[in-house]
């Protein structure tokens, strides 16, 4: 039977004495009629794509068709050539890799939607940076991504993961929550810590609007990815210290669904309000239309 709530996930982890990734790869094997080995091989393929995307993204300064974005990762790399990142090498790598990935998305490059294209930089940024800094094996990286996938899948049972349906909380917010849970697992957190990391990441992004300028997945999407990748790490640090979310994670997701329903359609990818209709947002749109 499929696990569809975090409570069911927790019960299964405890009663079967298995990790989230063990349960999920078995479930996926049954659902897709594949041996677990092949499920894991497919996940590794996605991780390799993530690594390539980061490499390509870091080497490029090609602008998007709008001309608004595309050279910000290069600026970040130049900054770190001469300056140490405020919070060290891991911080530097996370925001650089996340930005490189989201810039590749605007160039229509190859990315892994995780869970969506607009939020594609958050999970790879943290996964690949952490793996390099802590020498994670391929198997450990696969476990990370399977765990992240299960968290996203459970949330998607209640809320459609699309800015047009529930705002950016359902895209970058969910990516951040997936990442937080997977990193907590990788760092040795038990099921309570993992679910607290998910809840803490998600509940602090409730109501995040989707108001892209001119309807393009560029402003604010590109820079939101590196910023929310760090948000996910903050949630993990709190959870690993034993700090709990007073609201259980399933209820946080209920609140997220309700928030998405109550949000005005003007703030759900229609570009009819918010950043899209600021003075500058409208000017950018006007210039683009005239090009
Ligand atoms: S602001 Fe909207 S389009 Fe941009 S990443 Fe978020 S949900 Fe996607």
6-290 under CATH 3.40.50, yes or no: no
Q: Would you say 173 and 208 are in contact if contact means Cβ atoms under 8 Å apart? A: yes
285 preceded by a cis bond (ω within 30 of 0): no
CB distance 118 to ligand 1 below 6 Å: yes
The predicted model gives 103-126 an average pLDDT of 97
CB distance 212 to ligand 1 below 6 Å: yes
The predicted model gives 133-153 an average pLDDT of 98
Residue located nearest, by CA, to atom 6 of ligand 1: 168
> Best of 115, 119, 216, 266 to mutate for ligand 1, by most ligand atoms within 8 A of CB?
119
Is the pLDDT confidence value at 38 over 80?
yes
The predicted model gives 190-202 an average pLDDT of 98
The predicted model gives 254-264 an average pLDDT of 98
What integer pLDDT is reported at residue 2 of this predicted model?
84
pLDDT classification of 101: cutoffs 50, 70, 90: very high
Exposed / middle / buried, residue 150 (Cβ in 10 Å: 0-12, 13-18, 19+): buried
**Domain spans, the chain:** 6-290
Ligand 1 centroid to Cα of residue 208, in Å, is 9
What integer pLDDT is reported at residue 1 of this predicted model?
60
What integer pLDDT is reported at residue 291 of this predicted model?
80
What integer pLDDT is reported at residue 65 of this predicted model?
86
Task: For residues 200 and 206, give the distance between their C-alpha atoms in angstroms, rounded to a whole number.
Answer: 11
pLDDT classification of 94: cutoffs 50, 70, 90: very high
Ligand 1 centroid to Cα of residue 266, in Å, is 13
Q: Which residue has the tokens 């529930």?
A: 166
Task: For residues 214 and 287, give the distance between their C-alpha atoms in angstroms, rounded to a whole number.
Answer: 11
Looking at the chain, the whole-number percentage of residues with pLDDT higher than 90 is 98
CB distance 163 to ligand 1 below 6 Å: yes
Query: pTM of the full predicted structure?
Result: 0.97
Task: Find the distance separating the first CA and the last CA of the chain, reported in whole Å.
Answer: 54
CB distance 125 to ligand 1 below 6 Å: no
The predicted model gives 133-149 an average pLDDT of 98
Residue located nearest, by CA, to atom 3 of ligand 1: 217
The minimum-distance atom of ligand 1 relative to the CA of 118 is 5
CB distance 194 to ligand 1 below 6 Å: no
């Amino acid at each position: 039977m499929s696990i569809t709530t975090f409570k069911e996930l927790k019960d299964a982890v405890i009663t079967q004495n298995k990790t989230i990734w063990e349960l999920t790869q078995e479930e996926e094997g049954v659902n897709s009629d594949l041996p677990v080995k092949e499920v894991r091989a497919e996940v590794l393929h996605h991780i390799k794509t993530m690594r390539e995307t980061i490499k390509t993204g870091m080497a490029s300064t090609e602008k998007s068709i709008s001309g608004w974005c595309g050279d910000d990762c290069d600026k970040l790399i130049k900054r770190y050539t001469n300056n140490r990142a405020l919070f060290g090498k891991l911080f530097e790598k996370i925001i650089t890799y996340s930005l490189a990935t989201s810039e590749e998305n605007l160039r229509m490059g190859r990315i892994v939607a995780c869970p969506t294209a607009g939020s594609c930089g958050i999970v790879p940024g943290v996964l690949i940076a952490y793996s390099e800094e802590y020498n994670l094996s391929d198997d450990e990286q696969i476990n990370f991504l399977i765990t992240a996938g299960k968290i996203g899948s459970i949330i998607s049972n209640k809320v459609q993961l699309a800015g047009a349906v529930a705002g950016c909380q359902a895209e970058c917010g969910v990516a951040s929550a997936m990442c937080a849970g997977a990193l907590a697992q990788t760092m040795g957190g038990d099921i309570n810590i993992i679910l607290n990391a998910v809840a803490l990441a998600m509940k602090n992004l409730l109501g995040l609007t989707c108001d892209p300028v001119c309807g393009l997945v560029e402003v604010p999407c590109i820079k939101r990815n590196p910023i929310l990748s760090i948000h996910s790490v903050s949630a993990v640090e709190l959870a690993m210290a034993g700090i709990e979310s007073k609201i259980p994670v399933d209820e946080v997701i209920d609140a997220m669904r309700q928030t998405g329903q109550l949000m005005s359609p003007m703030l759900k990818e229609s570009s009819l309000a918010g950043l899209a209709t600021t003075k500058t947002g409208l000017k950018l749109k006007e210039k683009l239309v005239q090009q």
